[in-house]
Structure 1
């Protein structure tokens, strides 16, 4: 048993965590932050928060300013000075906030409402590009100015400076580049980073190297006015997309949510996109660039837009590159989803021509959305276009002329059916593309229409049979000519009359053909495996060549007595049907094509010579 005194003594012992600052810097650079250039964002964030704090103190007589100045000295690495004229820090605040990792100078509830920063680790990001951080600061509340100098090994020095050594309230951060990071201190690179992160910040940002100067955020922000309901800004917003984003957007959609206080614009991309592809958006937090990935803010189906968004009411993660999943984010995401849906619904009701252009370019995301939402589907279904045996056709036009929706879900089957179906006035939909089948099934269910899935073999059964009387010998001779190719011949009457033959290949035969093709390139071990699979198809002879008795050539073929000529003509009709039906040609069909053409040319020359002799 431990006595009460001993227990009290144990409880009274206190220990401090030891922080490996080098390890912390590695964690920041390799795991928390995606790019070392974010040290610019962190400097901007600290400066903006300092100016915001000074204004909240009631000081309105100063002009907010953020200035980055690069110093280049021959033979030395460049130095960056980043200055703000914000609230500054006292000596006690420097001890408390700059020397304590993770301690923020803002209360968390205040930070969420008024400030960009929350986590108090942003200044450490400067160690990713510099071996030391020097801070000169003068508090707006008075007191002596302070100089704080921190090293990457975790040590720092603090000294009080004479009154007036810093001047007006504010803070200056000095960084000297390392040899491997001087790239970030080049004027053009620095100016681009400042503009990237601070383009829409409300306080002016200046950058200079003594010879060059720029005010990086002097441009007007028409897209925020557009998001607030100023429709007159639309053309200006589209012009911004051309100049700033290098994109000729099809349209601009204003976005605004109460949850999360989101304002922005969605640009409809002028090029087609794939389902699930990611777009690089520009997302700002209180006008500071947060990042280019809004995957947890925008709906998944909206991959045909690229957005500019400013967020005031969502909570960033520690890296400030994405948002926490909470009720505010859920509400904002739902609102953005609803607004983008409403945009498409508005086109359907008010601008069908633009809707048609949108669907033509972005049919996959639009169909994905329609396949999940009945109300949205009812609105757009008739505008969807499908490939049919009678050409491309909108679904509305198709159902207006066809009492039954006929679809084929296999491309090879469609190619076989398309030759005959249109001749009988049937239009069959080639439903082999993404979302086609679920959309057609949904249409049939919602609108009460008959839906029939057809294939080539069942469709061929509808062809008109011809009486077998007097044709037995003809069919037997034709079967003999094609026996080596595993094809059975029948005689039918069908339209179009200029189609001499129709080849129907079932899926079973197609699989057997695939096995034969694989065997040609397989090794011995794999060949044995293929032999086992082929056993299931050994007795299958289901490829059928339907000869069309409405065609003059087939009628003439009935009277050909020469066995060699008859057999070759049947074989050439078989090859022709292969080509017309877009069936894959095996080696034996290709050889047959060559031999048949040679025979026919030889017969033609012989006939020509006989005519000359006669």
Structure 2
């Protein structure tokens, strides 16, 4: 070693995570070995890829492998690879921090799971990788040398918040992680991880499909008193699961493979094993998870599937193979005819990759459609977990929009307990109904109590209740379904009268417009900072007022969405509609006609507008003023 070791502190979140690891009780500690082997396998894949891209990189890739070394007397277990290795800065970045693992949100969910008694599954669930070693070890050492560099790095920690870091003059290429194991006879460690059969069983269960040999030296007793001998054995089969015929793969094998590539703890909801033949051949093994990851809507979340070419790893999270709205799909695509040194830039333009992507997307959507038809409970699980993401495809993927519209399920006023698809809505439409009605908002409860629904309920019209932010966008982009216009009940004028009712109703509205003309003009002036117009409503039956938009205006939710994305959009003034039959409105008209106090009338107008905003789940511009005026009015009634 050519310098003195330096003692450094873990990042705060990493320190907390280590404490959870060390002091929590896990029923399945075996996953630590799976995580270390997976890390080693990744390092081997990265070295092979680096050698393909850089012909001047002086490395030998003929015998890439993982070695497990055990010293039963010293109670150490070492997982060693001859892969890409790490530089000193990479050691600090990768092991000293969990910045790429979700930080505060990760820790929150770890603690919640621990408190709920589910801590035994945390490692597999969150993919915390290297940190899993501290479940079974009192001290962990790591030595590493990056391919192409001359010196190495040594790292060591007891998991108590600090680690030491030093330089090595010489070190084998790759990485070796040595665990100083806790005593085997304590409650913290029920398995002896120095025992050959234990290691064999764990590797078989978790890592049998790893593409590189996992080797271990084992001792064999001599025959007839002869000395024991040592031989090196390969512990895994190295068979690429996706290349085997589907009928030869057990469900348990699929599930274990998914847990590896998906960094998940639960079995997948659905497995898709497919082969593309013809001018361009490939195999694909894809999985639809049974639950959404915590980073599903995070820009930094994992995306895409793994890409291999002729069993050689090319890249992880290959988003060119799967659209963003299917980002939750995990798995492997092994292409036969791509260039091994293909870059991400070329990949985006590659005709063959685009062809594979089209086939994969159609297969995934067909699988979901089959679930909807044949296994409604499983489909319901899928839609609950991933529906909000899938609906993004209605905006981005015009080629598959018709299929997506068949998959979509939404809440409606038809059945409070069940979702409906668009075809079901159309099948229940009333005679003479031309449009598909919908309303958008933050949650179902608010929408079900919205004043916008009153006339539609009274007339028996079903309304779709859309509560995801993306709903605001896709209904505008799609526009219609089966020739029926998708129409917001919170925008434009409403006319639900039948032909028989229309004449009498129009005559009545004309009389009311004449009666309320002065009040409407006055209110439009008083509330001009907030609304563009005040008019009488045909959509209210019990509420005094509601706020609506013009037919082509942005909704408030869409305004906020655009601003959150960094777009500057002008503030859109909306329309205040009054119920001419409500006592509050008729009383305001009489007070205005009789020359009531201007201040009192103005405050009443503000209250009326504020009540309409609150009824639809909107936000008041000045909540404190609204509360003060309301409190004063209530005081006068006592």
Normalized against structure 2, the TM-score is what? Answer: 0.50
Counterpart of 2:381 in 1: which secondary structure?
helix
Per-residue deviation at 1:307? 0.9
Contact 2:304/2:327, CA 8 A, preserved across alignment: no
In 2, the alpha carbon distance for the partners of 1:480 and 1:81 equals 80
- Paired residue for 2:246? 229
In 2, the alpha carbon distance for the partners of 1:285 and 1:355 equals 33
Contact 2:306/2:331, CA 8 A, preserved across alignment: yes
The verdict on how the C-alpha distance between 1:337 and 1:385 changes in structure 2, with shifts beyond 3 A counting, is: closer
- Paired residue for 1:255? 274
- Paired residue for 1:598? 632
- Is the aligned partner of 1:350 residue 2:374? yes
1:548 aligned residue (569, 580, 591):
580
- Correspondence list, 1:209-220, <5 A: 218-219=235-236
Contact 2:147/2:174, CA 8 A, preserved across alignment: no
Bigger radius of gyration, 1 or 2?
Answer: 1
1:45 aligned residue (61, 64, 80):
61
C-alpha RMSD over aligned residues: 5.9
Per-residue deviation at 1:45? 3.0
In 2, the alpha carbon distance for the partners of 1:338 and 1:508 equals 33
- Paired residue for 1:449? 484
Per-residue deviation at 1:401? 2.5
- Is the aligned partner of 1:575 residue 2:610? yes
In 1, the alpha carbon distance for the partners of 2:322 and 2:280 equals 13
The verdict on how the C-alpha distance between 1:324 and 1:586 changes in structure 2, with shifts beyond 3 A counting, is: closer
Deviations 1:130-169 (A, max 9, x none): 59xxxxxxxxxxxxxxxxxxxxxxxxxxxxxxxxxxxxxx
2:264 aligned residue (246, 254, 258):
246
- Is the aligned partner of 1:266 residue 2:286? yes
In 1, the alpha carbon distance for the partners of 2:369 and 2:248 equals 18
Counterpart of 1:381 in 2: which secondary structure?
helix
Contact 1:36/1:125, CA 8 A, preserved across alignment: no
The verdict on how the C-alpha distance between 1:465 and 1:586 changes in structure 2, with shifts beyond 3 A counting, is: farther
- Paired residue for 1:292? 316
The verdict on how the C-alpha distance between 1:485 and 1:401 changes in structure 2, with shifts beyond 3 A counting, is: same
Gaps of 5+ in 1: 1-33, 49-64, 72-77, 84-123, 132-176, 513-529, 606-614
Contact 1:275/1:364, CA 8 A, preserved across alignment: no
Deviations 1:362-408 (A, max 9, x none): 23564455678889555553441245577764212321223323457
- Paired residue for 1:205? 215
- Is the aligned partner of 1:500 residue 2:532? no
In 1, the alpha carbon distance for the partners of 2:536 and 2:46 equals 76
Aligned length: 427
The verdict on how the C-alpha distance between 1:573 and 1:373 changes in structure 2, with shifts beyond 3 A counting, is: closer
- Is the aligned partner of 1:127 residue 2:148? yes
- Correspondence list, 1:391-410, <5 A: 393-402=420-429, 403-406=433-436
In 1, the alpha carbon distance for the partners of 2:366 and 2:537 equals 54
- Correspondence list, 1:277-356, <5 A: 278-279=302-303, 281-287=305-311, 289-298=313-322, 302-310=326-334, 314-317=338-341, 333=357, 335-356=359-380
The verdict on how the C-alpha distance between 1:282 and 1:557 changes in structure 2, with shifts beyond 3 A counting, is: closer
- Paired residue for 1:115? none
- Paired residue for 2:191? none
Per-residue deviation at 1:547? 3.4
1:458 aligned residue (493, 504, 528):
493
- Paired residue for 1:27? none
- Is the aligned partner of 1:563 residue 2:596? yes
Contact 2:410/2:464, CA 8 A, preserved across alignment: yes
Per-residue deviation at 1:46? 1.3
Deviations 1:513-533 (A, max 9, x none): xxxxxxxxxxxxxxxxx9xx9
- Paired residue for 2:470? 434
The verdict on how the C-alpha distance between 1:387 and 1:313 changes in structure 2, with shifts beyond 3 A counting, is: same
- Correspondence list, 1:461-476, <5 A: 466=508, 476=518
Gaps of 5+ in 2: 1-41, 52-58, 72-77, 84-144, 153-166, 180-198, 219-229, 498-504, 557-568
- Paired residue for 2:131? none
Contact 1:254/1:264, CA 8 A, preserved across alignment: yes
- Paired residue for 1:359? 383
> Which structure exhibits the higher relative contact order, with contacts defined as CA atoms closer than 8 Å and separated by 6 or more residues?
2
In 2, the alpha carbon distance for the partners of 1:323 and 1:490 equals 56
Per-residue deviation at 1:355? 3.1
The verdict on how the C-alpha distance between 1:548 and 1:477 changes in structure 2, with shifts beyond 3 A counting, is: closer
More divergent stretch after superposition (470-479 vs 285-294): 470-479
Per-residue deviation at 1:319? 9.0
Contact 1:407/1:430, CA 8 A, preserved across alignment: no
Per-residue deviation at 1:600? 3.1
- Paired residue for 2:459? 424
